[in-house]
């Protein structure tokens, strides 16, 4: 089975922010560097299979993020320019090397625009879902679930446990209240939908979107287990795209490569 992964800007940026200067015992990196590099390394290792995909917009945006961050840091802290210039060069070169291993797919902008309308509507719908899911509603769902799964004797404690689980399971949705979806997330999903449709003109393609963004990828607990997938699941249902964290996408790819 053919599989592709569209790599989100945030994965490219995270895998580019690192300074490793052995001589001075300096090794610092982005919080998501390791999980992002897991996927980038797999793509590099199997470059002949053309797994990793980006678009011109993703590529430009990744560079822009680094450049804007440097200019913001300059505004905030001032100081000498040399270190900032070196930081920008080191991170941008790393990004450039990652991009060399990706296929840059052209897109038909008018088609992507059509998909953008759909992804915007999709996220507007998610916002409405979120508004319906207030704490009172979640509590009554938990109570109902406890009623059918816990004996009367333990119902009170059962309800509390269910309540915790339900609140957690809706977290991807309820966090939209204070972290609204950005237009960029809608664009990347629109491009992913366009590309999936484009690839499938030939044959079915398992299509992933690797992202470090919880608006798209599942919310995980400390052990890396998915606890909230409300939006992720809807994306898969609506667009046929599996969104996940880069290390988890990489693990799935490794499994399917081993099966091939």
Partner 1 sequence: MAIPVSAPELLNPLGEISQLVDCMESTGEIDLTVVPKLSIVMSHARTNLEFWRTATDVSKETAFVEYHAWRNIFLVLSVMKDRFEHASAMHENPEVAAEANAVLPSVFVAISLLYEIPPREIGDRERSQILERLRTLRSAALRSNMSPSLNQELADVDVQDLRNRLAGLAQTIGTELVEG
Residue from 48, 78, 110, 178 touching partner 1 (CB under 8 A): that is 78
Q: Which of 1, 48, 77, 201 binds partner 1 (CB under 8 A)?
A: 77
Q: Does 26 bind partner 1 (CB under 8 A)?
A: yes
The one segment of 40-48, 58-66, 198-206, 251-259 that binds partner 1 by CB under 8 A:
58-66
C-alpha–C-alpha distance, residues 125 and 174, integer Å: 13
Q: For partner 1, which is the closer residue by CB, 3 or 91?
A: 91
Task: Find the shortest distance in angstroms from Cβ 249 to partner 1.
Answer: 20
Token pair, residue 147, equals 């009623």
The candidate with the shortest Cα–Cα distance to 187, out of 34, 65, 9, is 9
Smallest distance from partner 1 to CB 78, Å: 7
- In terms of CB distance, is 45 or 93 closer to partner 1? 93
State which of residues 1, 48, 83, 151 lies at the interface with partner 1 (CB under 8 A): 83
Q: What does each C-alpha distance from 148 to 151, 155, 159, 163, 167 come to in angstroms?
A: 8, 10, 11, 14, 18
Using the rule CB under 8 A, give the single segment among 30-38, 187-195, 196-204, 246-254 that binds partner 1: 30-38
Which of 4, 40, 47, 82 is in the footprint of partner 1 by CB under 8 A? Answer: 82
Residue 32 in contact with partner 1, rule: CB under 8 A: yes
Residue 245 binds to partner 1 (criterion: CB under 8 A): no
Give the total of residues touching partner 1 (CB under 8 A): 49
85 CB neighbour count, 10 Å cutoff: 11
Which token pair is 95?
Answer: 């990004």
Nearest by Cα to 16 from 70, 78, 115, 89: 89
Question: Is residue 216 a contact partner of residue 251, using CB atoms and an 8 Å limit?
Answer: no
Task: Return the sign of the alpha-carbon dihedral for residues 189, 194, 197, 202.
Answer: negative
Distance of closest approach, residue 188 Cβ to partner 1, in angstroms: 16
Polymer length in residues for the chain: 260
Among 50, 57, 69, 139, binds partner 1 (CB under 8 A): 69
**Cβ pair 60, 14 in contact under 8 A:** no
If one asks whether residue 222 binds partner 1 (CB under 8 A), the answer comes out as: no
Give the 3-state secondary structure of residue 15: coil
CA 2 to chain centre: 21
5, 6, 13, 54: residue in contact with partner 1 (rule CB under 8 A): 13
Interface residue with partner 1 among 47, 90, 107, 167 (CB under 8 A) is 90
Non-local CB neighbours of 63 within 8 Å, separated by 6+ positions: 92, 95
Determine if 93 is a binding residue for partner 1 (CB under 8 A). yes
Q: Is 220 in the site for partner 1 (CB under 8 A)?
A: no
Binding site for partner 1 (CB under 8 A): 13-14, 17-21, 24, 26-33, 63-93, 96-97
């Amino acid at each position: 089975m053919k599989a592709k992964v569209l790599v989100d800007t945030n994965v490219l940026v995270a895998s580019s922010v690192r300074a490793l200067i052995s001589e001075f015992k300096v090794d610092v990196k982005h919080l998501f560097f390791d999980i992002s590099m897991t996927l980038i390394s797999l793509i590099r290792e199997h470059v002949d299979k053309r797994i990793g995909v980006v678009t011109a917009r993703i590529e430009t945006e990744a560079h822009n993020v680094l450049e804007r961050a440097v200019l913001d840091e300059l505004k905030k802290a001032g100081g000498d320019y040399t270190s900032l210039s070196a930081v920008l060069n080191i991170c941008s070169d790393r990004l450039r090397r990652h991009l060399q291993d990706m296929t840059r797919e052209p897109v038909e902008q008018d088609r992507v625009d059509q998909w953008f309308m759909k992804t915007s509507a999709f996220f507007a719908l998610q916002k409405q879902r979120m508004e319906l899911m207030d704490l009172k509603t979640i509590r009554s769902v938990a109570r109902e679930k406890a009623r059918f799964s816990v004996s009367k004797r333990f119902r009170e404690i059962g309800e509390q446990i269910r309540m915790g689980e339900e609140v957690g399971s809706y977290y991807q949705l309820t966090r939209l209240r204070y972290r609204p979806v950005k237009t960029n997330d809608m664009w990347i999903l629109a491009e992913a939908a366009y590309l999936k449709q484009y690839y499938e003109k030939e044959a079915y393609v398992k299509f992933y979107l690797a992202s470090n963004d919880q608006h798209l990828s599942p919310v995980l607990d400390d052990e890396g287990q998915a606890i909230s997938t409300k939006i992720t699941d809807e994306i898969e249902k609506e667009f046929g795209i599996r969104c996940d964290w880069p290390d988890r996408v990489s693990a799935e790819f490794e499994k399917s490569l081993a099966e091939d």
